[in-house]
Amino acid sequence: MRLKDKVCIITGAAQGIGHATAEKFAAEGAIVIACDRRTEGCNGWESHTLDVTDREQVDAVMAAVKAKHGRIDVLVNNAGITKDARLVKMTTDQFDAVIDVNLRGVFHCAQAVADTMVAQGSGVILNASSVVGIYGNFGQTNYAASKFGVIGFTKTWSRELGPKGVRVNAVAPGFIETPILGTIPDKVMALMREQVPLKRLGKPQEIAAVYAFLASDEASYINGAVIEVSGGMTV
């Protein structure tokens, strides 16, 4: 088991990619700490109610995990939201909400675990980006900005923390079959599939498998990377 006894914190773990990642990490022997605003979907793992935009709550959860387990080995910054609109229609509330969760939340969580990982001389921070953060996408000004920003975080932190034994990488999924796509009409979903060279959407388990690899010692020389898992799609 590649993650045996590693203490792994996963945000946005109640559903979708986060839930699949928690399942995969548990199967690999990890001590899973599942965090979400609502923890109903986190049964079977140690869970904490966590709003990543609330810095006091983030600090409290990370401190509680360290106090209980003595260390933090892996952080998966998976929590994210969308509030789509074209540039001319997007409200500042829509823009701010996405930036607060997808960008500021990643900053909060990473900063809250960094000192612990540096003191240990080891650790892995994995950030959820997106192909939208690389190529852009119609109607997603806020989301694209946040996911492009996450890549900037990843590149910067890999330089700052790498010399301390802490690896930082990002995963950029394409269109994945998760609840976040639940409001998209069937016709649009069919068009999305056609955009992908593999002619299908991805499964959450396929993203989870990449996170598990990056969290493991098998990826010990991977640092500052952004791994696209998109079936070849470039949006």
- Residue 74: which H helix or E strand, with range? strand 74-77
Amino acid at 140: Q
Active site annotation includes 135: no
Q: Which residue is catalytic, options 135, 143, 211, 221? A: 143
How far is the C-alpha of 234 from the C-alpha of 175, rounded, in Å? 10
**Angle in degrees, CA 76, 82, 86, rounded to 5:** 140
How far is the C-alpha of 23 from the C-alpha of 75, rounded, in Å? 15
Residues 6+ apart with CB under 8 A from 84: 139, 140, 143
Q: Hey, how many other C-beta atoms are within 10 angstroms of the C-beta on 111?
A: 14
How far is the C-alpha of 67 from the C-alpha of 61, rounded, in Å? 10
Q: Is 196 within 8 Å of 231 (Cβ atoms)?
A: yes
**Residues across the chain:** 235
Which residue, among 81, 101, 96, 99, has the nearest Cα to 178 in the 3D structure? 81
Residue identified by tokens 């949006």 is: 235
Q: Is 79 within 8 Å of 150 (Cβ atoms)?
A: no
Q: Is 68 within 8 Å of 9 (Cβ atoms)?
A: no
The catalytic residues are: 143
